[in-house]
Structure 1
Amino acid sequence: MNDRLSRLHASRSAAVKAGLNHPVIDTDVHVNDYAPALEDYIQHYGGSRLVDALRKALGSRFATRNGEGRDWYAQTPAERRHHRTMRSPWWARVTRNTLDLATYTLPELLAERLEEQGADYSVLFPNDVLAPLGAGNEYRQPLHRAINHYHADVYRKYADRLTPVAGIPLNTPQEGIEELEFAVKTLGLKVINIAGGVKRPIPAVAEKYPPAEHPLVARYAHYTDFYGIDSEYDYDPFWQKVVELGVPVTTHYGSQGWTGRQSISNYMYNHIGHFADGSQAFAKALFFGGVTRRFPQLRVALLEGGADWGVHVYAHLVDRWEKRNRVAVQQYNPANADLDLLEDLFRRYGGELTDGRPVNRDTLLVDSLGISALPHSREPNEDEIDDFALAGIERVEDIKARWVDSFYFGSEADDRTVAAAFNDKVNPLGTKINAIWSSDVGHWDVPDLTEPLAESWDLVEQGVIGAADFKALVFDNPYRFYTQANADFFKGTAVERIAAQRG
């Protein structure tokens, strides 16, 4: 006990927390699973074959391989270059800080040290929670079910301050619904974590090169389905079930391996900005696909990418809609060009360019000036000119409702760009973006779990954000995210007690 109190006294974050009049909610804590205990659950759900499937999925989760299946570290530099094998993450866990390493694996120790961290309540993302996505079709659902069951059991004792997410597979809407209902109704879990997209074969390529016969082609020739616009399936039944059950949706969706993030030698080159890019693709798919219009109660948190990308997408949605809504886009309709005037101006002022060549307004002028983006094909019809149609955007306020209100953006403690989220002088309609405090403890970017809250408070002392913004970041916005999806989310927790005590 004395050792614990001495650590608590030494924590900068505990000192910051002591001066606050509101709870602190951490929306992103990463924990490890103790393999022998987890595998007991896996064995129960599917025997040794399921255990082997999990081990295989875990072994391949981060490794990138060449055509012969050899991972990056087993390849020579020449082989990496020949196969363009991307360098994957490495040394991703805290090790020198052994106390923290144990804390992320032992639920009782984590619960004890939460006060030292400065948090009142933490949402946990076990590092293995989406590992089953790398398993085959026959293993994916039972693995998810077993892993979710394990997490629900080991953290249930600490439910007043800790809650783990449920990993939900979404290769099909029905698969997602089945695991969602089991996680919520049977296990009592109340937050879900999904991948922001699923890779699918390109039909035209798969027809010519069947994946079973040409696995290497299938590995590289694919597209990503982001569950919204242009999706292979209608995911509305899944989103409807999410809303019906009152479940907040979270994702840590990255883009390492995408074009521009395929360095064969440098992990940092591939890493910086990849969560923002991946989450942006997913969020835009929901927005442009009309998901946030059809399900205004849906709440989605996009973690580890910061909030500044949410700001600039919001601003770009507004300025592009103003230029390219179904009325404004007529400014670029080739039919609206005055070809008589254009021909006259060329004759009067274009002599040096035309050099005596006849000016043919139907070919030379139209083609050379790029008046039509489709000079050799048909123009888009009336149903094809409004990119904002599915989103149902009729005014700027609709963009705010379907982007700002629906999405929350996880910002790590030392992320100075979070200031953009609170800059209502710049953001359209004087809006503040929903930044939520996401410490990311448990990963390499947080070498000491006692520091993140203090690091966020440093931003206040440095004038990067204001005290009211800090409160919004660590309490108001996270509280709203969870309770807008489920009004009883914090019932019986430390957050409810503290909020009641402090009014």
Structure 2
Amino acid sequence: MTARRTSKSAEIRAQLDHPVIDADGHWLEPVPVFLDFLDSSAGPAMVDRFRENKKREDIWYGLTAEERMARRLRRPTWWGEPANTLDRATAMAPGLMYDRLDEFGVDFAVVYTTLGLVQGSLPDDELRQAVCRALNTMNAELFAPYADRLTPVAAIPMFTPGEAIAELNHAVGELGMKAIMIANHVRRPLSSDTDTDTDTDGETGGYYPSGGYYVDPLALESPYDYDPFWQACVDAKVAVTSHSSSMGWEGRASVNNFTFNHVGHFAGASHVFAKALVLGGVLQRFPKLRFGMLEGGVAWACNLLADMIGHWEKRNERAMLANLSPDNLDTRELANLLKRYGGAAYTGKIDEIVAGPSTLKPFYSSGVLTARDRDTGQPIDDFLASGVRSASDLRQLFAERLFFGCEADDPTAAWAYRGKNRLNPMFSSDIGHFDVIDMSGVLEEAYELVDDGELSEDDFKSFTFSNAARLHAALNPDFFNGAVVESAVSEVLAEN
């Protein structure tokens, strides 16, 4: 056992009147150990498939600069783990992580996979499922001796509801794991009858995807019905947390520049998922379910909430019919105004303009534009499935159902506490990954928000303790039973 070291973070923790929960730490699975578990659960052939797949991930390095550009092949993550030897060992050994928690100023940590962040989304069905099964078996076993202060998170594959439910039942029902992580989207190939080679500057007007795949956000317009999975999460008493990348999506696909691809990518994936949860009605249909969106911060959610309120005010059905329906136009008055103010350029064009008055859709009458969008089989109100009937409904959904992981160095975490739209940021250390240079400094860095007057002490309590407790204990009040924070969490639940 390493000698316990003092730190500024430990001093800060000693002054707090509440525990600290790290909502998103990471461990770096030692691959030789993982492969033993994969071999045991899926056999040596699957180990070979895993090895071969990892080699394929590095094809970028075998290409010339010209070949990379020609193929637009994105550079894989590089130098993404701490080179500080003690911190690297800490991320690789649950016992050492446990031993250093006091130094970090952390009472309890929810520990996420690193391997599973990518391997849980492999397109190879058998390999994806086998990797998640082996990861969960390994993590449940290796973290079991430290359950009073560390809990590992199960990796749930999400390509189909069936595979997701199967691994959920195994991880929670058989292994006894209490927290889960999903990929909040699946990149699916466009169907074979879709012409992915269409000239998007020609035949389709640039409106259709051309990359050969689309992003399925699971909760809206998915080819699968994920409601059975959401219900299974309710039955299993687990919050749904997501930790997903949007690197490689359009706009995040630099061939060489990792920073270009990485900045904002967690927020980008969560932005899509959160919109889908609201507009697809998942939050409406499963009112007990809570969702955690990790490592993207909360600033994007503040913006999304404001933007969705603005869209609801302009595009709910009543507002659409009153203000935007094309047949509301008084074409006679429109013609008179254009004749009066149009000038010479409009001479002889007024009747043609009025016959097709839309700039966006210029060759259709107002009546046709009105009728065709009423006859699509889709509701006029984009918010119909959401159950949202007011701006306050949207605020309530965000404030009660969604939680947001913020790293210690994220000053925008304070935005969640400003004004009437208070959200739920959670202190998320991200130890184990490149952006944490010194594990012992994360709480110290987070507390700068208090020192700088951005957060009150009460705000800091909710940020570093209460919000994470409420996320995981909302469906499972026993989540923290036996943990060092059990009594403090009970007090939080009693207050709510």
TM-score, normalised on structure 2?
A: 0.90
Alignment partner, residue 469 of structure 1: 459
Alignment partner, residue 122 of structure 1: 109
Offset of 1:442 from its aligned partner?
0.5
Q: Give yes or no for the alignment of 1:257 onto 2:256.
A: no
Q: Given the alignment, which residue of 441, 451, 458 partners 2:441?
A: 451
Contact 1:334 1:372 in 2 (8 A): no
Offset of 1:144 from its aligned partner?
1.6
Offset of 1:90 from its aligned partner?
0.6
Q: Given the alignment, which residue of 95, 99, 107 partners 2:94?
A: 107
Contact 2:196 2:211 in 1 (8 A): no
Q: Given the alignment, which residue of 134, 138, 152 partners 1:146?
A: 134
Quote the Cα distance in structure 2 between the aligned partners of 1:186 and 1:471: 34
Alignment partner, residue 203 of structure 2: none
Quote the Cα distance in structure 2 between the aligned partners of 1:98 and 1:274: 28
Contact 1:57 1:134 in 2 (8 A): no
Alignment partner, residue 315 of structure 1: 306
Structure 2 counterpart of 1:113, one-letter code: R
Any unmatched runs of 5+ in structure 1?
64-70, 210-217, 425-429
Offset of 1:369 from its aligned partner?
4.6
Alignment partner, residue 204 of structure 2: none
Structure 1 counterpart of 2:382, one-letter code: D
Deviations 1:129-184 (A, max 9, x none): 34143262223323321221111000011001001110111111111111101110
Quote the Cα distance in structure 1 between the aligned partners of 2:320 and 2:55: 50
Q: What is the alpha-carbon root mean square deviation over aligned residues?
A: 2.3
- Partner secondary structure for residue 380 of structure 1: helix
Alignment partner, residue 81 of structure 1: 69
Quote the Cα distance in structure 2 between the aligned partners of 1:441 and 1:143: 23
Alignment partner, residue 49 of structure 2: 53
Alignment partner, residue 247 of structure 1: 238
Q: Given the alignment, which residue of 326, 332, 337 partners 1:340?
A: 332
Quote the Cα distance in structure 2 between the aligned partners of 1:183 and 1:422: 35
Offset of 1:45 from its aligned partner?
1.3
With over 3 angstroms needed to count, the CA separation of the structure-2 counterparts of 1:178 and 1:60, relative to structure 1, is: same
Offset of 1:352 from its aligned partner?
2.9
Quote the Cα distance in structure 2 between the aligned partners of 1:221 and 1:205: 12
Task: Tell me the number of residue pairs that the alignment of Structure 1 and Structure 2 aligns.
Answer: 474
Structure 2 counterpart of 1:350, one-letter code: G
Alignment partner, residue 33 of structure 2: 37
Q: Given the alignment, which residue of 370, 395, 400 partners 2:395?
A: 400
With over 3 angstroms needed to count, the CA separation of the structure-2 counterparts of 1:125 and 1:60, relative to structure 1, is: farther
- Partner secondary structure for residue 436 of structure 2: coil
Quote the Cα distance in structure 2 between the aligned partners of 1:249 and 1:366: 52
Contact 2:185 2:216 in 1 (8 A): yes
Structure 1 counterpart of 2:364, one-letter code: P
With over 3 angstroms needed to count, the CA separation of the structure-2 counterparts of 1:384 and 1:48, relative to structure 1, is: same
Contact 1:26 1:474 in 2 (8 A): yes
Contact 1:60 1:134 in 2 (8 A): no
Quote the Cα distance in structure 1 between the aligned partners of 2:110 and 2:290: 15
Structure 2 counterpart of 1:94, one-letter code: P
Quote the Cα distance in structure 1 between the aligned partners of 2:399 and 2:106: 26
With over 3 angstroms needed to count, the CA separation of the structure-2 counterparts of 1:432 and 1:308, relative to structure 1, is: same
Offset of 1:206 from its aligned partner?
6.2
Deviations 1:343-395 (A, max 9, x none): 2222333233323x1521xx422535538678376531174311111112111
Q: Given the alignment, which residue of 352, 355, 358 partners 2:344?
A: 352
Q: Given the alignment, which residue of 266, 269, 277 partners 2:260?
A: 269
Offset of 1:267 from its aligned partner?
0.7
Structure 2 counterpart of 1:484, one-letter code: A
With over 3 angstroms needed to count, the CA separation of the structure-2 counterparts of 1:432 and 1:38, relative to structure 1, is: same
Quote the Cα distance in structure 2 between the aligned partners of 1:272 and 1:208: 29
Q: Give yes or no for the alignment of 1:381 onto 2:374.
A: yes
- Partner secondary structure for residue 353 of structure 2: helix
Contact 1:148 1:166 in 2 (8 A): yes
Quote the Cα distance in structure 2 between the aligned partners of 1:166 and 1:188: 10
Offset of 1:41 from its aligned partner?
1.6
Contact 1:287 1:403 in 2 (8 A): no
Alignment partner, residue 175 of structure 1: 163
Deviations 1:66-93 (A, max 9, x none): xxxxx22222111111111222211000
Alignment partner, residue 14 of structure 2: 18
Deviations 1:181-217 (A, max 9, x none): 11101000011111111121211456899xxxxxxxx
Alignment partner, residue 201 of structure 2: none
Quote the Cα distance in structure 1 between the aligned partners of 2:334 and 2:120: 62
- Partner secondary structure for residue 387 of structure 2: coil
Structure 1 counterpart of 2:50, one-letter code: L
Contact 2:398 2:423 in 1 (8 A): no
Alignment partner, residue 66 of structure 1: none
Runs (4+) of structure 1 exceeding 6 A deviation are 206-209, 500-503
TM-score, normalised on structure 1?
A: 0.89
Deviations 1:369-424 (A, max 9, x none): 53867837653117431111111211122212333322111000010111211112
Offset of 1:60 from its aligned partner?
4.5
Alignment partner, residue 488 of structure 1: 478
Alignment partner, residue 206 of structure 2: none
Structure 2 counterpart of 1:418, one-letter code: A
Q: Give yes or no for the alignment of 1:186 onto 2:182.
A: no
Identity of aligned residues (%): 39
Contact 1:306 1:415 in 2 (8 A): yes
Alignment partner, residue 214 of structure 1: none
Q: Give yes or no for the alignment of 1:232 onto 2:223.
A: yes
Structure 2 counterpart of 1:467, one-letter code: E
Contact 2:241 2:294 in 1 (8 A): yes
Structure 2 counterpart of 1:317, one-letter code: M
